Amino acid sequence: MSDIDDDEFLLDEDFPLGDGVADMDTLVICPYCGEEVEIGVDPGGGSDQSYIEDCPVCCSPWMVRLHYSGGTVEVTLAQTEA
Ligand SMILES: [Zn+2]
């Protein structure tokens, strides 16, 4: 009886990291206005990413840093230098 093993194997085959199982969006708190915002993230961009993105609420520029760990994304926002 190896049903469980087969299921896990199939999940890995069908949803490799970066193509379905990894987080595609996440909640963040804007460091400027304090609003909770859901942002889209791209696991295809690599396990560590950083870029500038504007807050959809107050339009202030965030310094976004992403780290993927086993399909779960950790996001750190910082204020960009004025
Ligand atoms: Zn904001």
How far, in Å, from the CA of 42 to the mean position of ligand 1?
21
How far, in Å, from the CA of 9 to the mean position of ligand 1?
42
Number of domains in the chain: 1
CA angle, 47 then 11 then 26, to 5°: 40
How far, in Å, from the CA of 17 to the mean position of ligand 1?
30
Assess contact for 58 and 30: CB atoms under 8 A.
yes
How far, in Å, from the CA of 12 to the mean position of ligand 1?
37
How far, in Å, from the CA of 36 to the mean position of ligand 1?
8
Examine the pLDDT at 8 and tell me if it is beyond 80: no
Q: Specify the pTM.
A: 0.71
For 20-52, how does the pLDDT look when each residue is reduced to its tens digit (9 = 90+)?
A: 589 999 999 999 999 999 999 999 999 999 999
Q: The domain containing residue 34 runs over which residues?
A: 3-79
Q: What separation in angstroms does the CA of 2 have from each of 7, 8, 9, 29, 48?
A: 9, 10, 11, 44, 36
Predicted local confidence at residue 4, as pLDDT: 53
